[in-house]
Structure 1
Amino acid sequence: MKQPDEVRRKALFDSDARLSWVLAALAGLIGAAAFMHTAGYFVTFMTGNTERAVLGYFHDETDVAVAAALLLGSFLSGVVVSSLCRRHFWSGHPHGPTLLTTACLAAASIIDIVMYEITSSTRIEFVPILFVAFGVGALNTSFVKNGEVSIPLSYVTGTLVKMAQGIERHISGGTYADWLDYFLLYAAFALGAFVGGLLSLMVAGWAMLITATVVCLIVTGYTYLHLDIHGPLTDE
């Protein structure tokens, strides 16, 4: 019979773990796409948006505070809508949230192109970013266990806290399995952000969301392939 540590070490590199790395990298790339060619909007950093929504009023930056609050609302709406869809249509299917994210990115790209034709501005405007934030919120519901998100793909702060606690357990007599899974998830997100940053140097602002949409569509195909090979994720 396999020991718990051996089972956990095996789970570090199983199919679901690999899928979580891919989706975390996607979240990082989308966040970079939204940040690099805008006025600095966060679609993955809800802690920062919360502080902006509160503190913007202290600096007479009401527009910043309102924008941050709207991004928060859009992100939360994405989580709620995707969770409802999971409950009624996508139970156990990892491709559902990524498909919704792809649709949101596609809508954001279309809106951005229309606004580019009107204004000729290479910067991505705020309205498309609301759709992106909605899509990122939806993406975070890809892994659910006991009715709650088990792997928050863009919650980097929580991932780092858990990784640090795992390092302490390793130092106190545990194994590398106590922290490596969190490190790999964090590294995947950071890699996605890095790739998104590189793409922003090569792709014009008006085409950045299109690029992110194409990447997201490819990842959606990967989640379908994951479903075909490994079966649906369970919500147990």
Structure 2
Amino acid sequence: MPKPDEARKRALFDNEARLSWVLAALAGLIGAAAFMHTAGYFVTFMTGNTERAILGHFHDQNDTAAAAAGLLASFVAGVVVASWCRRHYWSGHPHGPTLLTTFSLATASIIDIVRFQDPETASIDFVPILFVAFGVGALNTSFVKDGEVSVPLSYVTGTLVKLAQGIERHISGGDYADWLGYFLLYLSFALGALLGGLLSMLVAGWAMLITATVVCLIVTGYTYLHLDRHGPLSDR
């Protein structure tokens, strides 16, 4: 049996960890697609949406406040629905939420294409963004331990707090395993956002949603056909 420290270090690069990097990057890409091609809607930043939903009324921006509240409600609904599906339908597929995210992104892409037939359109309408927020909420339930989310993919604030705490533990006598996992997760999200920003300079918003949908579909296929068959099948 490997020592606890050795097992913890191995877990930094196992299948679950690598998948978390991919999904964090996907969350960053999705967030960039929504932010860069709209009036600045956040689908991964619920702290900002909460403040917008409240403070928008103080700046005579009632529409912005209402949009932020809608995104909050859609995000929470995504978490609830994905968690319910995990409990009742996905006992053998712990990463099943990626399927729900793929469906949400595909729906958003279809709605966007239907509503904007002009290929030169540079913005994503708010209606499909609600589906994107729903999908991001669902995506955040991809990793669950003891009934609670263990890897919050788009909760960057929490990741940075844990990263900083891990750095302090390393300085105080720990090792790199105390912080490296959080750093890699944060880096993956940031790289996904960077990729989304670069894509926004090359393609229209609807094309970015389609790109995110294809990537999510590939990841979903991998988790269903490989990881959930050869990796952990239960909430740990």
Shorter chain as denominator, the TM-score bin is: over 0.9
| C-alpha distance in structure 2 between counterparts of 1:136 and 1:93, whole Å | 18
Distance 1:182 1:101 in 2: 23
Q: Which runs of 5+ in 1 are unaligned?
A: none
Task: Give the letter aligned to residue 24 of structure 1.
Answer: A
Q: In the TM superposition, what are the counterparts of 1:125-144 in structure 2 within 5 Å?
A: 125-144=125-144
Partners of 2:95 and 2:143 within 8 A in 1: no
The secondary structure found in structure 1 opposite 2:151 is coil
Report what 2:235 is aligned to: 235
Match of 2:75 in 1: 75
Residue 162 of structure 2 corresponds to 162
Aligned-partner Cα distance in 2 for 1:138–1:10: 28
The 1:56–1:115 alpha-carbon spacing in structure 2 relative to 1, beyond 3 Å, is: same
Equivalent positions of 1:1-236 (< 5 A) are 1-117=1-117, 121-224=121-224, 225-232=226-233, 234-236=234-236
Q: Aligned residues, how many?
A: 235
Give the residue type in structure 1 aligned to 2:175: T
Deviations 1:35-62 (A, max 9, x none): 1111110000001001101110110100
Alpha-carbon distance, 1:205 to partner: 2.1
- Post-superposition Cα deviations, 1:71-126, rounded to whole Å, max 9, x if no partner, equal 00000000000000000001252441011000000110111011103897431010
Q: Quick one: distance in 1 between partners of 2:95 and 2:3?
A: 32
TM-score (structure 1 length as normaliser): 0.95
Paired with 2:182 and 2:92, the residues of 1 have a C-alpha distance of 22
Which one-letter code corresponds to 1:51 in the other structure?
A: E
Is 215-224 or 13-22 further displaced after alignment?
Answer: 215-224
**Distance in 1, Cα, partners of 2:228 & 2:2:** 26
SS at match of 2:55: helix
Q: Is the 8 A contact 1:144 1:151 kept in 2?
A: yes
Q: Deviations over 1:145-186 (max 9, x none)?
A: 111101100000000000000000000000010000000110
Moved more, 132-141 or 196-205: 196-205
Are the counterparts in 2 of residues 92 and 235 from structure 1 also a CA contact under 8 Å?
Answer: no
Percent identity over the alignment is 77
> Secondary structure in 2 aligned to 1:202?
coil
**Aligned partners of 1:120, 1:29: CA distance in 2, in Å?**
21
Structure 1 residue 193: Cα displacement: 0.8
Residues 167-219 of structure 1, C-alpha deviation per residue, up to 9 Å, x if partnerless? Answer: 00000000010000000110111111111111111211232211211111112
Deviates more, 1:9-18 or 1:112-121: 112-121
